[in-house]
Chain A
Amino acid sequence: MTYYLSLPLDEEERIKLKVGDEVFVSGNVYGMRDQAHRRLAELISEGRELPVDICNGSIFYVGPTEPKPGEKVGSIGPTTSSRMDPFTPLLISKGVRVLIGKGKRSKEVINAIKLYKSVYLVTPGGISPYLRQFVLYVKPIAFLDLGPEAIYNIKLENFPTFVGIDTGGNSL
């Protein structure tokens, strides 16, 4: 099946997605990767407030290049999701429902996806010039000291993905 969906996805929308479906995603995601994940996990364990609201949130594992002058988006594409695996079940338990990245996930992540009826969307790596056409803007919003590893507010429009792990825990 092919779907055109707007974020955030409600539970009903997530449940109908099956592994291998093609999903064109529109709406806002948090772009973040390794160090931002570690910091969020530390803040959660200390019971402190997070710099971003992840309730029913969507995360895109990414570290884009800086846009050229006059452009809103640089080179942008997924980074390897499995490096985020140690932090993902915690973030899902705190409200994240949609994950976008590339590659395999751990058993723990698959279990958390199943438990919270989340979904993991896969988009190909190494095709950033193609993918950037479906990104309207990229704005760093938190952990700015991390440079390319900051948290970004990213707006997608018909961004091409495939369902990698569905709410039933089935994976490609």
Chain B
Amino acid sequence: MRKINTLDIAGIIEDLCKRVNYKLDETVISTIEEASRRESSPIGKKVFSQMLTSYQLAEEEKTPLCQDTGMVSVFLEIGQEVFLKGIPLEEAINTGVRRAYTGSFFRNSIVDDPIGTRRNTLDNTPCIINTRLISGDKINVKLLIKGFGSENATALKMFSPTSSKNDIKEFILDTVRERGPNACPPLFIGVGIGGTADYAVKLSKEALLNLEPMDEWELSILDKINSLRIGPAGLGGDVTALYVNLKTFPTHIAGLPVAININCHILRTGSATI
């Protein structure tokens, strides 16, 4: 049994929130640099160059990558040999978010009663917390900070079990055609297939956490998306999406849930192991 004080987790969440709002992961930047070389439209090229300059400025000047400093999603894999001591885990995680957002001139974007007063909580809490128990005595922390320009582009469809791969591809293309231009392209596309409705949505978001190499089907969907020619910033061009990741899970004989979660070009993820 290994004891971990939840306040240590708060510290890690605080550091991750701060870093992720200023600095993109190297893999994200190299994915974008590589795609920028494929762009042939004059406007698209200009937008790519503005994007790459912007990432540099964000890091140098400590200016948030986007004025929408997002709603924070935290994904914890907790080793079952860990004993958590100190304040309750969820309180600790929100403490980390609160400390990051009140001390850093980030925008507080969270409102309390969503269909009532919509009063700003003024510290960007609460965040969304997902936990999973795993073997071992470590905790893996992953974090995704997402603005709502892209979160609003999320889609879920409950397909019939006899639907084809092509039906799913068409659904992805329709969603990107309809909602992609608003989601700050070029896009990262997470797709969750299977499980239950809620689980498919969760999978689609988790699909954005690791940029694993794409398989043949993912690459063929990426190609189709790029043939939509929405382009960088929705101004037309070759590069509409940068990456597609499909995650699957067993499902019920009567169904085939498919969820799509779209991220803008600033994919703000971070991770740590305790």
Contact = CB atoms under 8 A, between A and B. Distances in A.
A14 interface: no
Nearest to B47: A124
Given A124-B184, A125-B184, A130 B53 contact: yes
Nearest to B67: A75
A80 interface: yes
Contacts of B122: 147
Given A103-B234, A162-B43, A172-B234, A128 B109 contact: no
Interface string A20-57: 10100000000000010000000000000000000000
Contact of B50 (A67, A68, A81, A124): A124
A79 interface: yes
A72 B76 CA distance: 38
B69 interface: yes
Name the residue among A35, A68, A129, A148 with the largest chain B CB count within 10 angstroms: A129
Contacts of B181: 103-104
Contacts of B58: 128-129
Contacts of B54: 126-131
Interface string B62-73: 111111110000
Contact of B51 (A62, A66, A80, A126): A126
Contact of A68 (B65, B66, B105, B236): B105
A82 interface: yes
B116 to A, nearest CB: 13
Nearest to A62: B67
Contact of B234 (A22, A63, A76, A122): A122
Contacts, number: 126
Classify chain B: how many residues form its interface, as a range: 35 or more
Contact of A104 (B149, B152, B182): B182
B106 A129 contact: no
B105 A124 contact: no
A77 B234 contact: no
B66 A128 contact: yes
A64 B47 CA distance: 21
B149 A102 contact: yes
B107 interface: yes
Interface in B79-130: 105-109, 118, 120, 122
A125 B233 contact: yes
Given A65-B106, A127-B54, A75 B43 contact: no
Contacts of A130: 50-51, 53-54, 57
Contact of B107 (A22, A66, A122, A172): A66
Contacts of B55: 129
Nearest to B184: A125
A132 interface: yes
B176 interface: no
Nearest to B55: A129
A152 to B, nearest CB: 12
A29 B184 CA distance: 22
Contacts of A126: 51, 54, 65-66, 147, 184, 264-266
Contact of B57 (A63, A123, A129): A129
Interface of A: 20, 22, 35, 62-68, 74-77, 79-82, 102-104, 122-133, 147-148, 160, 162, 172
Nearest first, the 5 closest Cβ-Cβ pairs linking A and B are A103-B182, A125-B184, A130-B54, A124-B233, A129-B57
